[in-house]
Amino acid sequence: MTLIDHLHGDYLRQALEHDVRTGLTSTPKWLPPKWFYDAAGSDLFSRITRLDQYYPTRRELAILRRNAADIAARSGADTLVELGSGTSEKTVLLLDALSGSGTLRTYMPVDVDAVTLEAAAERLAARYPRLAVRPVRADFEHHLSLLPRTGRRMVAFLGGTIGNLPPAAREVFLKELRSTLRPGDTLLLGTDLVKDVRRLVAAYDDDHGVTAAFNRNVLHVINRELDGDFEPDAFEHVARYDEDNDWIEMRLRATRAMPVRLGGLGLSLAFEPGEEMRTEISAKFREEGVRSELAAAGFEVVRFYTDPAGDFGLTLAGR
């Protein structure tokens, strides 16, 4: 399958170098979550989605199972563009519903990891022989304007991944996304919702240590790509809920003083004992907040769907 690749050549390398240099020379140190997702990290994330304590995937699936036909009918889309598509597990529900309403022609999964993207694209092309599957390797934060604009599109951004962006970046992202849409196009946006803090923290600090391994994987990625000597096992996984900002914060905490050398960047740094580095925020929303952020970006909310427990939100919006 041919992959449209916007992360070719030096792009990925330069973005990684830039992000790692910026984050690790800041105080406090931080890293952006997109670098979790090499093949091993994508695999660990798939395992997370099957953990009892990680409820978002199951809740979003339940919402889709119940409402996919309604979403398909309201969107009338012939092209499904999925940002951060990963394994495309939930996508089948949307594709079934869209083909059921007779409109579907094209599926365009967009992801940073080529291995996961190609596997998902092959699987869906085999399952839907009449569907044109057009995988695009791209960074949804930077390449929205490069995505093909043909057809009546529904852009799905599922899983709550928009919560990886802090509020100011969300505003920029949503405005830019809207500017790439045409009349009749729609956005389907998944957002994890504010709930009991213990459940939120448990979802990001599971008993099997899968999330901890996922978190440490970013250090393996940096070691491999930037000739680093991080000792991932010398870092503890930390998950905290920040009630002022309504977001989960994942961190890696140095268990002792540690010098780190990144040969690929010509950079040496040091961690103090107990020093914490932020590796991800995962924002949690309220229905009013989702509606007002979408309205501020110029979208018109068509419907807000949730599960019976009110754990997760899925919003269909028009441009």
DSSP string computed for 250-271: EEEEESS-EEEEEGGGTEEEEE
The smaller minimum CB distance to ligand AVJ, of residues 108 and 158, is found at 158
The smaller minimum CB distance to ligand AVJ, of residues 53 and 180, is found at 53
| Cα separation, 135 vs 117, whole angstroms | 7
Minimal CB distance residue for ligand AVJ: 282
Query: Least distance to ligand AVJ from the beta carbon of 85, Å?
Result: 11
| Cα separation, 99 vs 173, whole angstroms | 29
Query: Least distance to ligand AVJ from the beta carbon of 101, Å?
Result: 28
The smaller minimum CB distance to ligand AVJ, of residues 107 and 204, is found at 204
| Cα separation, 80 vs 238, whole angstroms | 36
- Rounded to 10 degrees, the C-alpha dihedral 210/215/217/222 comes to 180
DSSP code for 35: G
Q: Is 139 annotated as a binding residue?
A: yes
Q: Rule CB under 6 A: which residues touch ligand AVJ?
A: 48, 56, 159-161, 163-164, 204, 211, 214, 280, 282
The smaller minimum CB distance to ligand AVJ, of residues 254 and 281, is found at 281
Q: Is 113 annotated as a binding residue?
A: no
Query: Least distance to ligand AVJ from the beta carbon of 112, Å?
Result: 12
* Residue 159 and residue 84 in contact, taking contact as beta carbons nearer than 8 Å: yes
E strand intervals along 147-203:
153-157, 186-192
Q: Is 55 annotated as a binding residue?
A: no
Q: Is 100 annotated as a binding residue?
A: no
Q: Is 289 annotated as a binding residue?
A: no
Q: Is 107 annotated as a binding residue?
A: no
The smaller minimum CB distance to ligand AVJ, of residues 185 and 205, is found at 205
Q: Is 37 annotated as a binding residue?
A: no
Task: Give the pair of three-digit tokens for residue 168.
Answer: 């100011």
| Cα separation, 186 vs 155, whole angstroms | 6
**58: burial class by Cβ within 10 Å (0-12, 13-18, 19+)?**
middle
Within 10 angstroms of residue 109's Cβ, the number of other Cβ atoms is 27
Query: Least distance to ligand AVJ from the beta carbon of 283, Å?
Result: 8
* Residue 90 and residue 158 in contact, taking contact as beta carbons nearer than 8 Å: yes
| Cα separation, 194 vs 301, whole angstroms | 20
Query: Least distance to ligand AVJ from the beta carbon of 318, Å?
Result: 24
Query: Least distance to ligand AVJ from the beta carbon of 33, Å?
Result: 7
The smaller minimum CB distance to ligand AVJ, of residues 81 and 238, is found at 238
Annotated binding-site residue numbers for S-adenosyl-L-methionine: 84, 90, 111, 139-140
Annotated binding-site residue numbers: 54, 84, 90, 111, 139-140, 164, 204, 280-282
Annotated binding-site residue numbers for L-histidine: 54, 164, 204, 280-282
